[in-house]
Amino acid sequence: MDTREKILQLAGDKKVVKSAEVAGFLNVSRQYASKLLREFLDAGKLVKAGSTTNARYALPEFSDELGVKHIKQILVNKDLREHIVLENFLVASSVFKTAPENVQSILRYAFSEMLNNAIEHSSSSKIEVEIIDDNPMVKFVVNDFGVGVFRNVMKKRGLKSEMEAMQDLLKGKTTTSPKAHSGEGIFFTSKAADRFVLESFSQRLVIDNTIPDVFFEIQRPSKRGTRVIFAISKESKQHLSNVFKKFQSGPEEYNFGKTEILVRLFTLGTIYISRSQARRILTGLEKFKSVVLDFEQVPTIGQAFADEIFRVFKNAHPDISITPINMNESVKFMIGRVENK
């Protein structure tokens, strides 16, 4: 049995070990023992709690033995499989085990989707994962140091800004690899959370479903790559199946055929008058069968804006249903005027 196998055996027998114990067990210096333990952390074979001389280590399946509410693991992004990390890191944690079944189901889905995105799209050599017990909230973090989700979408889709990339991600079915991915992961994960945050370089997208509201913010300091922060209450009544059902285009259709757009997020000001603004909203919506346009907090729209959506687009895509909601009298009048032409 080589040195590394002995460390794993010791961790399996004791469940929690310190670097001094490893050094004594192997009859090596603490510095060398710490070096070996760091290698196991980087490989995802151990998890760590505490720092410096108080650091404690455990196999992922014994992470709850560390007795902490915050566990972090650094993964080397080479031949990484999200389902293995899911079982060994998230599912093995005490915070997951104590969550009700509906929350466990959501955590499984969301963690797998976000970690898969980091593995396949970030071009990051390392990925950090964290799980936090902030009772009654359960949080996980997936953090990479790669190309950045907003910049990647902007570049691959030929958009003008990271703001436009955030807008497109909110629609759903936005992916940088259409042959390999449906573009549903971020969309449904954000809908299942109580609070969902995407941070990348200088941009921050916050989706708070408890209010509910969406925020575009400036990220300071700038964060290289992408950080996903997902939070859900252990008391949540949300079910993953209901999240999917909400965005089916019909009760008998099980595809992702429906989306909902917050119109106010598609301009930096408060004026919605031009056809170009309308076309930004309409980009990619031909992939759906049903589109809900939410005009909450939109004071007025111009005739050209309304005409582009409710006449031109509708005539070009007669099979797509467009439903406006939360309209004030001014918006309702302009849409009605265009539709009655």
> What's the confidence (pLDDT) of residue 340?
78
> What's the confidence (pLDDT) of residue 253?
60
Query: Is residue 137 packed enough to be buried (19+ CB in 10 Å), middle (13-18) or exposed (0-12)?
Result: middle
Mean pLDDT by 10 residues, the chain (341 residues): 86 91 91 89 80 81 76 88 86 86 95 94 94 91 96 92 92 68 81 97 96 92 96 95 84 76 81 86 92 93 93 95 95 91 68
- For residues 324 and 339, what is the distance between their CA atoms, to the nearest angstrom? 12
> What's the confidence (pLDDT) of residue 218?
93
Scanning the structure block, which residue is given the tokens 């460390």? 7
Whole-model pTM: value is 0.79
> What's the confidence (pLDDT) of residue 3?
84
**What is the full DSSP assignment across 170-195?**
HHS---S-TTT--S-HHHHHHHHSSE
CB proximity list for 142: less than 8 A, separation 6 or greater: 111, 114, 115, 117, 118, 127, 128, 129, 227, 228
- For residues 317 and 311, what is the distance between their CA atoms, to the nearest angstrom? 10
> What's the confidence (pLDDT) of residue 308?
95
> What's the confidence (pLDDT) of residue 178?
58
- For residues 95 and 139, what is the distance between their CA atoms, to the nearest angstrom? 9
